[in-house]
Amino acid sequence: MFLIAAFTFFVVIAVIMIVWWAFSPQAVDIERRLSATLKPRVSVAQKDAPSAAAALQPHSVFVNIGKALPAANPKAAGRDRTMLTRAGYRTETAFLGLRGARLFFLALLGFGGWWLAGLFDLNQFIAVLMTAVVGWYAPDLWVTTRMKTRQKLLQLALPDAMDLLVVCVEVGLGLDQALMKVAQEIEIAHPDLSEEFQIVNMEMRVGKTRGDALRDMAQRTGAEDIKALVAVLAQTDRFGTSIVQALRTFSDELRTKRRQRAEEMAAKVGVKMVPVLVFLLFPAIFLVILAPAALMIWRRLLPALK
């Protein structure tokens, strides 16, 4: 009874928080864009710079735990850094925080498994092992979800950025200046892609070639459309073809892909609704329609059978 009451309490709190977040003004896209417009612009370097108040944040506990751990395997560390970079976290504290979060949740859920095994007739070793494995991979799952969400945002933002890039190149701007201008224009609507373009401009300013900077952006994001854009620009530079024509063709192709993806998602709606209808809606309908008739038949036939 205690576990049922605790579970019900947390479910009710979660539903209240979701409803509050859904109807709060911060969730409205117009309010978010207006507030972003009124705020002063912050460069990418200032975003990544550590602040004096960082030690007071909750993730600083994970960072301190990560610092106390021994050095990680270079291969695993490279994989973690790539995953964090694609999720939008490029600082060293993010890597240390991920290692500390793994150890923290491993210990926390391991203790929780041991406690549950004491309440029920479970094997304590198996319970602790399973919950510890879940705690170890829980931060990785969260980072992977953030990475896929960011890649989807970049994928949705790229067609709009390509249209602006084509216009900027057609009016006479060079590709470097056009990337800078597009990064400034889409900063509010698509902040993730604007941030990537700003990083490309910063790398070119410090001496890196445009091809290397674009290839680093493709590796940093991991988005397929951005990799295709980098390949198109590299072939344009190698063969000396028109950049405007190549960008216009690629922009039309992105628009076609975006429409096809929307049509694919619309075609999957019917299939995704079948489990909901079969397991949730139809039983409720049958209960409402057939329950009175079944009760009436039971009441009439039961005395006759006796």
What are the Cα distances from residue 193, in Å, to 3, 153, 214, 239?
45, 8, 13, 27
> Does residue 227 contact residue 157 with C-beta atoms inside 8 Å?
no
One-letter amino acid at 174 equals G
At residue 44, the pLDDT reads: 55
At residue 147, the pLDDT reads: 92
User: Is residue 170 scored above 80 in pLDDT?
Assistant: yes
Which of 226, 194, 220, 230 lies closest to 86 in space, CA to CA? Answer: 220
Mean pLDDT, all residues of the chain? 80
Going by C-beta distance under 8 Å and a sequence separation of 6 or more, which residues neighbour residue 151?
Answer: 86, 221, 222, 223
User: Is residue 156 scored above 80 in pLDDT?
Assistant: yes
Terminal-to-terminal C-alpha distance of the chain: 40
Find the range with the poorest average confidence among 111-125, 195-209, 284-298.
111-125
Higher pLDDT, 19 or 193: 193
Which of the four pLDDT bands, split at 50, 70 and 90, describes residue 30? low
Distance CA 234, CA 261 (A): 26
Distance CA 254, CA 258 (A): 6
Q: What is the CATH number of domain 153-267?
A: 1.20.81
Distance CA 243, CA 237 (A): 8
269 φ/ψ angles, rounded to the nearest 5 degrees:
-65, -45
- Domain residues of the chain, as ranges? 153-267
What 8-state DSSP symbol labels residue 150? H
Model confidence pLDDT, tens digit, residues 31-66: 555 555 555 555 555 554 444 334 334 467 777 777
At residue 148, the pLDDT reads: 92
Q: Which SS3 state, helix, strand or coil, does residue 90 take?
A: coil
At residue 63, the pLDDT reads: 77
User: Is residue 6 scored above 80 in pLDDT?
Assistant: no
User: Is residue 107 scored above 70 in pLDDT?
Assistant: yes
Model confidence pLDDT, tens digit, residues 184-218: 888 888 888 999 999 999 988 888 888 899 899 99
Q: Is 43 left (phi over 0), alpha (psi -120 to 50) or beta?
A: beta
Kindly state the average pLDDT of the residues 224-232: 90
Find the range with the poorest average confidence among 31-40, 81-90, 294-303.
31-40
Tokens encoding 282 = 């139809």
User: Is residue 113 scored above 80 in pLDDT?
Assistant: no
Distance CA 186, CA 184 (A): 6
Which of the four pLDDT bands, split at 50, 70 and 90, describes residue 18? confident
At residue 53, the pLDDT reads: 36
User: Is residue 134 scored above 60 in pLDDT?
Assistant: yes
Share of the chain above pLDDT 70, in %: 83
Kindly state the average pLDDT of the residues 273-292: 84
Distance CA 63, CA 56 (A): 12
CB atoms within 10 A of CB 158: 23
